[in-house]
Amino acid sequence: MAAEHLIGSYNYALVALSVLIAIFASYAALDLAGRVTAAGGWTRAVWLLGGASAMGTGIWSMHYIGMLAFILPIPVAYHWPTVLLSLLAAILASIVALAVASRQKMGASRAVAGSALMGAGIASMHYIGMAAMRLPALCHFDSFLVVLSVVFAVLISLAALWITFHFRDDKTGVGRGKLVGAVVMGAAIPVMHYTGMAAASFAPTGMPANLSHAVSISTLGTAGIAAVTFIVLGMALLTSWVERRSAAQSLERQEEKLRRSEAYLAEAQRLSHTGSFGWTMATGEIIWSEETFRIFDYDPANKPTVEAILRRTHPEDKAFVQETIDQIAKDSKAFDFKHRLLMPDGTVKYLRVVGHSLTNDGPGNVEFVGAVMDITAAKQVEQTLREREAYLAEAQRLAHTGSGAWRVLGEEALYLSEEWYRIYGFDPKQGLSAWQDRLQRMHPEDRARVGEIKDRATREKSDYEVDHRILLPDGTVKYTHTVGHPVLNASGEVEQFVCTMMDVTERKKAEEAREALRQAQTDLARVSRVTTMGELTASLAHEVNQPIAAASTNANTCLRWLAGDTPNIEEARAAAMRIVKDVKRAGEIISRVRQLFQKGTSQRELVDVNEIIREMIVLLRGETTRYNILVATDLAAGLSRFMADRVQLQQVLMNLMINSIEAMKDATGPRELYVKSQSAEGSQLVVSVSDTGVGLPPQHADQIFDPFFTTKGDGTGMGLRISRSIIESHGGRLWASDNSSHGASFHFTLPTKS
């Protein structure tokens, strides 16, 4: 007789609770899969184990709540070691599920394998859990329903993996998609469980159940299992939410830093006029930064292309740029080149383009990154600098002035200009080594002196100036003047000198020529004075004879007063005093003549121009008396004394006064020589010599100061020229003019302040 099967029933409240736990566990699985996917390294392992434990606990709890929902008319206990084994199976199945669903990619083979393992784990958990039942009855299984439950387990696992994989990254709040997926999974998972329960049937036996290590589950225990499950799953979700929130905040901070960094980069590119670009060879795609668009003056809405680049390229550089781009595409190597842009408004920009390959997966699959620098301003500065250097080099060449810098330690050259090389006769291609070779070209007699001056400047931290000669290989001698300025380091010691060197050879020769000319002029002036004095011999003899004759007469008178019976001492003394005066007057005349004849260098002293005028009138009194010429003067009182060469001024006045005398000696009208002195503006005085003679030569008045021009039959034509040179050497001016009635006037100015 067949055994009677026990008829069971379900507590639908517990059934609903098991489904709710399944949905909650499914949501936790979806959420934890996202965290496992986002994690890496050991963190991923922690999330995988923790998440699998929480998820496995939820699935296991759903299973046991479902088993407790099945009510039999006999007492049922559970073997707790077997129960724990079923929990382990649930956790292992959860590990497989999370490991597969958290992969970056999930292919069909991986999904099938994962679902098979997960389904097997869930089925194992279910039937191991049923094996833990202890009751006085035998359990029989319907093979078809068992297989069907396993198939359901695999299919449900496959669906769960697919749903978990696709909804794991849903970050919008609770996640509608994630919630729908959890409901679908949570509703599907109990299907397997209750199919497995339907496969079991129970027949009572007369033997008592083995209750060793078995426990009975009360209503309170059921509530405890449910509560613990919700707590575990809730804690897992809470941990995931906290970690996700922290990650989101960290991501927001990183994104904010990235945005700020991008803003800084964009501003830095704008300030430095440096744009960036990316270029993918396979697709031809070009990406520009904002500054690159700004450099090329294109709208960012436009797509950058090689054609757009060539469209902006200067016509003279277009072939070069095209060739360079082709070469880059061929070689896939780093590049660095410069070219110009011709903008729509006609302006020209200078660019420097640098870049290198970021990836190189073979020909045609190269990606380049690089920078575009607008170097127009630098190019303009460079051009200006080159022009200034050229101007400086040309100015140094014209001025025969070189420059350089040398380090004190080791006396090594730091910089030498082209003119420096030219002065020393070196080739600029020789470079700074010429600095050491310069000593061989410095005149041997000057080397020691130059070295001493430089050493002293180094010790005293002062400038130095030195003149020395250069002896070139061909025997040419150059004269140079060098000025050096010290450059101190942070400790205040002389580190280097900056110097300039002037080639003063031409100036030296000019000075020597000027000295020779000055000497020639001095000699010529002396000859002129001697010639003039020779012409005045008769007059000078008369002038000297007068005081001598007077002295002779006074001497006889003195003797007569002393020879009487009663000598008249007072009268004799008076006659002797007159003798002294006459002799002194003759001596002064002779002294003035001797000064005019004297040969020597120009010597300047404080002089009184009125005194010199009076001396010349006395000296020429014989000539004026001879030709019945009236001499008149108008000498301003209180004129300042000034520095001048007395003899040279005497020569000028004598020359002008003799010219006036000669212009009047044949005149039929009044013969008057008028000499005037007066002060003038600008700390100057004016001396005028006027006569009533024939006046300036008609048609040749502007030539009277020219060398060798004369209206005299026996004249040299140098008197007025020498006189003008003397006045100009004193800082004055000499000129002539016709008088309003008849005669001529000569005027000259002299500065009273040097």
What are the tens digits of pLDDT across the range 52-65? 677 777 777 777 77
Residues 363 and 431 reside in one and the same domain: no
- The interaxial angle of helices 719-729 and 646-664, nearest 10 deg, is 140
Alpha-carbon 454 to chain mean position: 33
User: Do the beta carbons of residue 355 and residue 368 sit within 8 Å?
Assistant: yes
**R_g of the chain, CA atoms, integer Å:** 63
196 and 71 in one domain? Answer: yes
Q: Is the pLDDT of residue 44 over 60?
A: yes
CA–CA separation, 412 and 484 (whole Å): 15
Cβ neighbours of residue 77 closer than 8 Å, sequence gap 6 or more: 133, 134, 135, 209, 211, 214, 215, 216
Question: Is pLDDT larger for residue 34 or for residue 507?
Answer: 507
- pLDDT > 70 fraction of the chain, expressed in percent and rounded: 76
Neighbours of 628 (CB within 10 A): 10
- What's the pLDDT score for residue 361? 58
- Quick one: tokens of 413? 């050259």
User: Is 591 inside a domain boundary?
Assistant: no
21 and 91, same domain (yes or no): yes
pLDDT digit string (tens) for 265-301? 888 888 888 999 998 877 888 999 999 999 999 998 8
Q: Report residue 15's pLDDT band, with 50, 70 and 90 as the boundaries.
A: confident
Distance CA 729, CA 558 (A): 51
pLDDT at 354: 94
92, 67, 308, 391: which is closest to 197 by C-alpha?
A: 67
The pLDDT, as a whole number, for residue 35 is 63
Q: pLDDT tens-digit profile of 73-95? A: 888 887 888 878 877 877 787 77
Q: Residue 559 has what pLDDT?
A: 80
The tens digit of pLDDT for each residue in 159-212 reads: 766 766 666 555 544 456 566 656 766 666 777 777 878 878 888 887 777 777
Query: H/E element holding 126?
Result: helix 108-131
Write down which residue in 191, 212, 238 finishes a domain: 238
Assess whether pLDDT exceeds 80 at residue 439. yes
- Angstrom CA distances, 253 to 228, 249, 250, 268, stand at 37, 6, 5, 22
Among 104-113, 428-437, 647-656, 667-676, top mean pLDDT goes to 667-676
Q: What is the mean pLDDT of residues 430-451?
A: 87
Burial of 196 (0-12, 13-18, 19+ CB in 10 A): buried
532: in domain: no
* 351 and 418 both lie in a single domain: no
Instruction: Give the number of C-alpha atoms closer than 13 A to the C-alpha of residue 704, restricted to the C-beta side.
Output: 23
The total number of structural domains that make up the chain: 4
> CA–CA separation, 26 vs 14, rounded Å?
18
pLDDT number for residue 487: 93
pLDDT at 128: 81
CB-based contact 632:578 (threshold 8 Å) = no
More confident residue, 651 or 292: 292
Please check whether residues 68 and 201 belong to one and the same domain: yes
* Least confidently predicted of 426-440, 511-525, 674-688: 511-525
First to last CA, the chain: 159
**Distance separating alpha carbons of residues 736 and 659, to the nearest angstrom:** 12
Which amino acid makes up residue 9? S
pLDDT of residue 625: 84
* Angle formed by the axes of helices 12-38 and 80-101, nearest 10°: 40
Mean pLDDT calculated for residue range 572-581: 77
Indicate if 60 and 205 belong to the same structural domain: yes
214, 238, 262: which is the final residue of a domain?
238
Are the beta carbons of 33 and 164 closer than 8 angstroms? yes
Residue in this structure with the two tokens 């020589």, named with its chain if needed: 673
pLDDT reading at 348 higher than 90:
yes
Q: CB atoms < 10 A from the CB of 221, how many?
A: 14
Concatenate the DSSP letters of all residues of 701-731 into one string: GGGTTSTT--SSTT--S-HHHHHHHHHHHTT
The span from the CA of 657 to the CA of 674, in Å, is 9
Task: Pick the range with the lowest mean pLDDT from 194-203, 239-248, 518-527.
Answer: 518-527
Q: What is the mean pLDDT of residues 609-632?
A: 86
Say how far apart CA 178 and CA 27 lie, in whole Å: 7
The mean-pLDDT minimum among 3-12, 42-51, 513-522 falls in 513-522
Residue 697 falls inside a structural domain: yes
Work out the pLDDT band at 237, boundaries 50, 70, 90: low
Would you say residue 724 lies in a domain? yes
pLDDT of residue 293: 92
Query: Final residue of a domain: which of 486, 503, 520?
Result: 503
Residue 703 lies in a domain: yes
Q: What's the pLDDT score for residue 272?
A: 86
Sequence-ordered list of residues with C-beta below 8 angstroms from that of 633, at least 6 positions apart, any chain: 613, 614, 617, 674, 675, 676
CATH number, position 465 = 3.30.450.20
Q: Is residue 544 part of a domain?
A: no
Neighbour-count burial of 626, counting CB atoms closer than 10 A to its CB (0-12 exposed, 13-18 middle, 19+ buried)? middle
Mean pLDDT of 660-676: 88
340 and 207 belong to one structural domain:
no
Residues 203 and 286 in one domain: no
Q: Is residue 260 part of a domain?
A: no
The vertex-174 CA angle with 169 and 180, nearest 5°, equals 80
DSSP bridge partners of 10: 70
Residue 430 has pLDDT above 50, yes or no: yes
What token pair was written down for 11?
């507590």
Average pLDDT over residues 431-453: 87
pLDDT given at position 120: 77
- CA distance linking residue 508 with residue 9, whole number of Å: 134
Altogether, the residues listed in the chain come to a count of: 754
Mean pLDDT of 251-257: 81
Q: Are residues 134 and 212 in the same domain?
A: yes
Instruction: Report the distance separating Cα 555 and Cα 318, nearest Å.
Output: 116
Q: What is the CATH number of the domain that holds 719?
A: 3.30.565.10
Q: Is the alpha carbon torsion for 198, 200, 201, 205 positive or negative?
A: negative
Q: Which residue has the tokens 């001879």?
A: 626
Residue numbers of the domain that contains 309 = 273-374
Q: Are 295 and 306 in contact (CB under 8 A)?
A: no
What pTM value is reported for the model? 0.43
- Please say whether the beta carbons of 309 and 296 come within 8 A: yes
- Alpha-carbon distance 229 to 60, whole Å? 9
Residue 47, burial from CB neighbour count under 10 angstroms (0-12, 13-18, 19+) = buried
What does each C-alpha distance from 436 to 432, 503, 666 come to in angstroms?
8, 19, 77
* Mean per-residue pLDDT of the chain: 79
672-680 vs 630-635, strand pairing mode: parallel
**Same domain for 44 and 154?**
yes
232 shares its domain with 277: no
If one compares 122 and 175, the residue with the highest pLDDT of the two is 122
Q: Does residue 571 fall inside a structural domain?
A: no
* Residue 222 in this model has a pLDDT that exceeds 70: no
Confidence of residue 1 (pLDDT cuts 50, 70, 90): very low
Q: Give the model's pLDDT for residue 173.
A: 47
d(CA 397, CA 503): 10
Interacting residues of 570 by C-beta distance below 8 A, sequence separation 6+: none
Q: What is the mean pLDDT of residues 427-456?
A: 87
Looking at residue 180, its pLDDT comes to 66
At residue 288, the 3 state secondary structure works out as: strand
Q: Tally the C-alpha atoms within 13 A of residue 290's C-alpha that lie toward its C-beta.
A: 11
Same domain (yes/no): 280, 233: no
261-270's contacts with Cβ under 8 Å and 24+ in sequence apart are 266/290, 266/291, 270/294
Work out the average pLDDT over 636-643: 90
